Amino acid sequence: MTRDAMTAPPRQQLHQTYAAAVPELSVPWQADPPARPELAWLNEQLARELGYEPQWLHSPAGLALLTGQLDATGVPLAPGAEAPADDEAFTTAQVYAGHQFGTPNPQLGDGRAVLLGDLIDTCGARRDLHLKGSGPTPVARAGDGKAPLGPMLREAVVGESLHALGIPTTRALAVVATGEQIPPRQGVTPEPGAILVRVAASHLRVGTVEYAAWHLAEPVRTAVIDHAIDRHHPAAREAENPYLDLLRRVSEAQAELVAQWMLLGFVHGVMNTDNMALSGEGIDYGPCAFLDVHRAAAVFSSIDRGGRYAYGNQPGIALWNLSRFAETLLPLIDPDDPDASVEAATATLEGYEGHYLDAWARGLAAKLGIPVDPAAPPGERAASHIEPRSSPVAPAASSGDPDHLAAIRALGEELLELLESQAIDHTGFFRALTEGAATSLFTDPSPFRAWHQRLLDLRGSGPAADSAVAAMAGANPLYIPRNVHLDAALRSAHLGDLEPVHRLLEAVARPFERRPGLADLEGPGDGGEDFLTFCGT
């Protein structure tokens, strides 16, 4: 490492935009200094995007940043320097409430997370830097505020995978092992502790607004909602009713997000309202998993005993959460007429289903190689401050021939029934279809052949069909963090070998491109049928 890399100050100035906008919803708080911090993984590409030199992040000052050891102005502390007292800290702990498994919880947290601050990245977008597992905060309900290495690496892998698949998501900048052993969540073996350094468009959750609505004076609710508009949906300001328009935009962003999860076979696992971000990014990947065999009722989380957050329930649950969000907006939508507010919010939420079905049909068309009409111009779409990127999975839009899209949807529904009835791997099927090898997956291929003929009819022929077929390889991944492979990699990490996690991260970062030496990561692996995850979020 060069001397410059050791001594150069970080290029980035951290801000506390959120705390300045809504001081009532966070407290200054200093992260615990970790015992022996060591980088378990650094996301070099994301570091550069944020304006940090990866080499600098390896230095003592970089590690101080990544563990929240900042002075009262947000500058990394020199080794041995005294940290500010908690009430003078630059960093903050955010409070929120939420509905957990359908039940309101007046105060959830954040009990183990510290917001380092926000910065403007090299693309001009404002991003939060946040630590999870950095010790208990004053808004903790209970618990030690620590996090185990396995679940933090899991969140990092899942975030990278979803990002590479073109899906809005929070991401990990780094996972830092703290050098501590923490009590096990199951069994008797202590687990290595870790901090996840998370990057997000913001940490505004439905549960954040619920907290303000349930506990604080009216101006705070308005302030946090105004902050959400400024930060994620500034175009809503121009609408006749900005709060109603915010609801529409958040609802459309969620419809698009969940449609993309469904197309990929992704199961979030804990879609509580505190785990739904107003930015439209997926957040808090705990007991999440990807389907192997396609199954609408698939549940992988040990805590989801009733199957509320089963794969097939996700579109409906997102709408349920949006309804809770809408309730927090009612006094602002029409302050003088509660009935008119309810009516307007209900009408807005009625748009969710159509938007979801449209996004799902378009994404499915991309996966099946069926041409669809071009997407609506960007001005028509929900603006958000998530970094701009093209989605290879679901070019979301609201235009297109409705009959054509309806026919695609019907074909898709038929396909999913077929996959489920013959216990076919979700991701494996779409890739095999891309590679012209799907028939051999079916024990009884005749219904598939009939379905395939309908696909060919819908696809048609000509240049549009040819290019849709050629684009299938960029819509149907080879490498996703399959349950068995991810679990095996996390077990190795627990035992001190990080190589399998790094290899999996490499694989999922370029999910569409087959590379030598990664064949074992393509399929579901053995023994994943009854996979269950015990991760907290």
Q: Which residues bind ligand AMP (CB under 6 A)?
A: 108-113, 136, 140, 143-146, 274-275, 284, 286, 536-537
Q: Name 197's bridge partners.
A: 131, 174
Contact indicator for 148, 104 with CB cutoff of 8 Å: no
Q: Fill in the amino acid letter for 110.
A: D
Site string for Mg ion, 246-275 (x = CB under 5 A): -----------------------------x
CA–centroid distance for 158 within its chain? 8
Do 410 and 390 contact (CB within 8 A), yes or no? no
The residues pairing with 127 across neighbouring beta strands, listed in sequence order, are: 119
Q: Where are the beta strands (DSSP E) in 78-229?
A: 92-94, 96-100, 103-109, 113-120, 126-132, 147-148, 171-182, 191-200
137 contacts Mg ion (rule: CB under 5 A) = no
Of 156, 149, 154, nearest in space to 172 by CA: 156
Nearer to Mg ion, 111 or 477 (CB): 111
Residue of this chain nearest to Mg ion (CB atom)? 284
Q: Does 321 bind Mg ion (CB under 5 A)?
A: no
For the chain, the straight-line distance linking the first and the last C-alpha, in angstroms and rounded, comes to 36
Choice among 274, 304, 334, 425 that is catalytic: 274
Q: What residues contact 222, with CB distance under 8 A and at least 6 apart? A: 332
Per DSSP, the residues of 414-465 read HHHHHHHHTT-BHHHHHHHHHTT--GGG-SS-HHHHHHHHHHHHHH-SSHHH
* Nearest distance from C-beta of residue 457 to ligand AMP, angstroms: 46
- The minimum distance between CB 303 and Mg ion, in angstroms, equals 12
Write the Ramachandran bin of 535: left for phi over 0, alpha for psi from -120 to 50, otherwise beta: beta
R_g of the chain computed on alpha carbons: 23
Task: Map the footprint of Mg ion across residues 279-318, applying CB under 5 A.
Answer: 284
Comparison of 260 and 275: residue with beta carbon closer to Mg ion: 275
Nearer to ligand AMP, 110 or 387 (CB): 110
**Residue 171 or 294 having the CB closest to Mg ion:** 171
Nearer to ligand AMP, 447 or 536 (CB): 536
Nearer to Mg ion by C-beta: 261 or 479? 261
- Any contact of residue 537 with Mg ion (CB under 5 A)? yes
- Complete DSSP assignment for 466-506: HHHHHGGGGTS-S----HHHHHHHHHHHHTT--HHHHHHHH
Give 61 or 199: the residue with its C-beta nearer to ligand AMP: 199
In whole angstroms, the minimum distance from the beta carbon of 302 to ligand AMP comes to: 13
d(CA 154, CA 20): 32
Size of the site for Mg ion (CB under 5 A): 3
- Find all residues with CB under 8 Å of 146, minimum gap 6, and list them: 112, 133, 135, 178, 180, 182, 193
Residue pair 64/174 in contact (Cβ under 8 Å)? The answer is: no
* Cβ–Cβ < 8 Å for 130, 151: no
Is 457 a catalytic site residue? Answer: no
Residue nearer to ligand AMP on the CB measure, 62 or 282: 282
Q: Which does residue 110 bind out of ligand AMP, Mg ion, none, counting CB within 5 to 8 angstroms by kind?
A: ligand AMP
Cα dihedral 114→326→239→377 (10° resolution): 80
Write out the two tokens for 503: 């290899």
Are the beta carbons of 178 and 147 closer than 8 angstroms? no
CA–CA distances in Å: residue 420 to residues 292, 297, 417, 452, 510: 11, 10, 5, 16, 28
The site for Mg ion (CB under 5 A) is made up of: 275, 284, 537
Catalytic residues: 274
